[in-house]
Amino acid sequence: MKKYTLIIIIILVAIAGYLYATPKEKLKEFGNPITFNLNQTENFEGGLKVTLSEINDSRCKEGVICIWEGELSPLFKVVGGNMGNISKEIRLGTSRTKSETKDGYVFILESATEKS
């Protein structure tokens, strides 16, 4: 019986060591700029998850006459934290809507490219 007890203890110690040594996902801190790639999700303190789901490019194309220069406008899907369990959308823009406040969070677009 002691032999089985010792084996169980060794297995439990091995499992605990594995769980302790496995790197945990690092949560992003509020207030620090983050570069997103398309379909990338970042997890923040408090359970907030932000995903870049699309980038709309309405800029005036070369050789076309436009009445407005257009802009890049990324769409973020946000869930968790103060937002609750229902996914919400935040659309920012490089010229018109550079920031938006929603449910106590301030989202600010510093820059954007077609790819990220």
pLDDT tens per residue, the chain (116 residues)? 555 555 555 555 555 555 554 445 678 888 889 999 999 999 998 999 999 999 999 998 888 888 888 999 999 999 999 999 999 999 999 998 999 999 999 999 999 888 75
Structural contact between residues 38 and 54, judged by C-beta atoms closer than 8 angstroms: yes
Q: Would the pTM of this model clear 0.85, i.e. be above it?
A: no
For the segment 29-60, what is each residue's pLDDT rounded down to a tens digit?
888 899 999 999 999 989 999 999 999 999 98
